[in-house]
């Protein structure tokens, strides 16, 4: 249940994925740029390989200053699930320490991996999502296999009655896959963010203009957005 005594600025959202390396951070950067939002990565692992973390990538792609980044609460060196990376450093992630910060702008929060990635022996990423209670944007690869993975993710969110704004696909457009997910998942598809080469702030900002952000401006309070 959300602890925060205030309502977040419209446009705020929690970005999750159907798995690891599905384009979640690039989509988060696109949302930050399009919404004029601040960014928060509450839990980061793999800083040995990415010293600035996903926050550094988003700051570069969305041209953010330090004042637009909410500091990461837990950062771990090993490129493992957060619970395993934390255990290597003899740290336990305390969910009660992850509280929605008050911001004057919309806030894009990026999770780690998918919704059932473990944060501790008792909690997974979906418990954090339920705590913050922001509209959820699911990022999914656009190609073969995505229908099953995306529908399973949506089923997990629906089971917990979390507010889902919609799905954004990452990769080449596959309209049939998008239609199947929208129909079978009873969810709005907010668009497809293609692979950009080169991936520059200008190219990303332009691509983000094609996304449907209306469910974030007028978000669902529970369950799935109407479409």
CA distance 32 to 61: 9
Report which of 213, 219, 212, 146 is spatially closest to residue 185, judged by C-alpha positions: 146
41 noted as active-site residue = yes
pLDDT computed for residue 222 by the predictor: 65
pLDDT tens digits for range 84-95: 999 999 999 999
What gap in Å lies between CA 8 and CA 146, rounded to an integer? 31
Tens-digit pLDDT profile for residues 106-124: 999 999 999 999 999 999 9
- Round to whole Å and give the CA distance between 58 and 47: 15
pLDDT at 29: 98
Average pLDDT score over the chain:
94
* Per annotation, catalytic residue among 23, 38, 41, 185: 41
Mention every residue, 6+ apart, whose C-beta is less than 8 A from residue 41.
Answer: 53, 54, 55, 58, 72, 109, 110
pLDDT of residue 1: 45
CA distance 85 to 77: 7
pLDDT value of residue 225: 60
- DSSP class of residue 100 equals P
Whether the model clears a pTM of 0.85, i.e. scores above it, the answer is yes
Q: Which of 1-5, 14-18, 61-65, 79-83 has the least mean pLDDT?
A: 1-5
């Amino acid at each position: 249940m959300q602890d925060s005594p205030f309502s977040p600025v419209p446009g705020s959202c929690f970005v999750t994925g159907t798995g690891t390396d599905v384009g979640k951070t690039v989509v988060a950067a696109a949302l930050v740029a399009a919404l004029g939002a601040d960014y928060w990565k509450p839990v980061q692992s793999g800083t040995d390989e990415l010293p600035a973390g996903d926050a550094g990538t988003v700051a570069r792609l969305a041209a953010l200053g330090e004042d637009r980044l909410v500091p990461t609460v837990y950062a771990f060196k090993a490129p493992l699930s957060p619970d395993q990376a934390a255990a290597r450093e003899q740290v336990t992630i305390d969910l009660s320490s992850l509280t929605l910060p008050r911001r004057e702008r919309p806030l894009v929060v990026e999770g780690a991996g998918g919704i059932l990635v473990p944060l501790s022996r008792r909690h997974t990423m979906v418990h954090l999502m339920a705590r913050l209670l922001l509209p959820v944007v699911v990022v999914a690869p656009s190609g073969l296999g995505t229908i099953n993975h995306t529908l399973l993710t949506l089923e997990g969110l629906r089971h917990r009655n979390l507010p889902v704004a919609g799905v954004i696909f990452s990769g080449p457009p596959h309209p049939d896959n998008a239609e199947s997910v929208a129909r079978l998942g009873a969810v709005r598809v907010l668009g497809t963010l293609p692979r950009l080469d080169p991936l520059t702030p200008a190219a990303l900002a332009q691509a983000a203009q094609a996304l449907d952000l209306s469910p974030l401006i007028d978000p669902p309070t529970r369950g799935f957005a109407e479409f």
